[in-house]
Amino acid sequence: MNNGSSSSFDPTASLEEAARMTRKDCFQFFCGPSVQCFTECCRKLELALTPYDTLRLSRRLGVSSSEFLDDFTEIKSGSRHGFPEVFLKMQDTEEKLCPFVSKQGCVVYEDRPGACRTYPLGRASSKNRLTNINEEFFFVVRESHCRGFEQNKTWSVDEWLSDQDLEEYNRFNDLLMELYMLGFRSRSGELSTQRLQMFMMACYNLDKFREFIFRSSFLTKFEFSPERASSLETDDSCLLEFAFEWLKLALFRIPTLKLRNNPEQEVCDSSS
């Protein structure tokens, strides 16, 4: 499930009370400086960040993945899927404002998190086990303070997704949700500290993950075309997509990658 709000993943959550919408269904909403509640939604948040969120924000700010995690996030454990979750750290003031909000609005608007883009919609998706195709539906999330629903602007869901440039965000969020579901369904108990570190490195610390790939024996263990190796070295999106492939293999033994020479070779579990 991939909820566009800031709530944490809960694979057992019921959405029966929410009116399900397709991409062709319409809703009324507008947000901007002219709306009375402008930026009210940017305070006192519990905003979960996805790996793609942290990638976009760190690159926007011109800082390393490690610096972004240290300066702008809080990491929480105890989720039902077993993986750590990364949350945006609010300003240390009474209002608990988002660190990227100003009186004029969001200062990182072009690279704002997916949950901010999706609102006022929520999105739920799951992979059909028979067709291996992601199936999705949408629903309206109504916050009590929001006056955007009173504005005379109508969107179809499809129009909103396009306007908010959500295609890549949703694609990467679906990959993350697949990993969460594997963790939730796993009967192998809690992940070890080492494997949790692997998850954090591959998903949230792409700079360290790239070093791990290119400064260790990693490339000698798996079959890679020169073209793919080059893309992993230079293209952040390709690297993040690969991170999910590798984690499925390393954490759950799903054969997403082909080992070189010896098929019985143990998958490298080291994150160093």
Q: What global pTM score does this model have?
A: 0.88
Burial of 65 (0-12, 13-18, 19+ CB in 10 A): buried
Single out the residue of 257, 2, 204, 253 nearest to residue 123, CA to CA. Answer: 2
Q: Are 246 and 223 in contact (CB under 8 A)?
A: no
Distance CA(59)–CA(68), nearest Å, equals: 9
Once rounded to an integer, what is the mean pLDDT over residues 22-35? 96
* Residue 86 pLDDT exceeds 90: yes
Percentage above 70 pLDDT, the chain: 88
Residue whose entry in the numeric block shows the structure tokens 């057992």: 12
pLDDT score at 4 = 46
Once rounded to an integer, what is the mean pLDDT over residues 212-229? 93
pLDDT score at 106 = 97
| 137 or 18: which leads in pLDDT | 137
Once rounded to an integer, what is the mean pLDDT over residues 241-267? 83
Distance CA(41)–CA(55), nearest Å, equals: 23
Once rounded to an integer, what is the mean pLDDT over residues 17-26? 87
Distance CA(137)–CA(158), nearest Å, equals: 11
DSSP E strands: which ranges in 54-111?
73-76, 85-88, 101-102, 105-106
Amino acid (1-letter code) at residue 239: L
Q: Predicted confidence band at 150 (pLDDT cuts at 50, 70, 90)?
A: very high
For the chain, the farthest-separated pair of C-alpha atoms sits apart, in whole angstroms, at 64
| For helices 65-72 and 206-214, angle between their N-to-C axes, nearest 10 degrees | 150
CA–chain centroid gap for 68, Å, is 15
Q: Are 83 and 191 in contact (CB under 8 A)?
A: yes
pLDDT score at 187 = 59
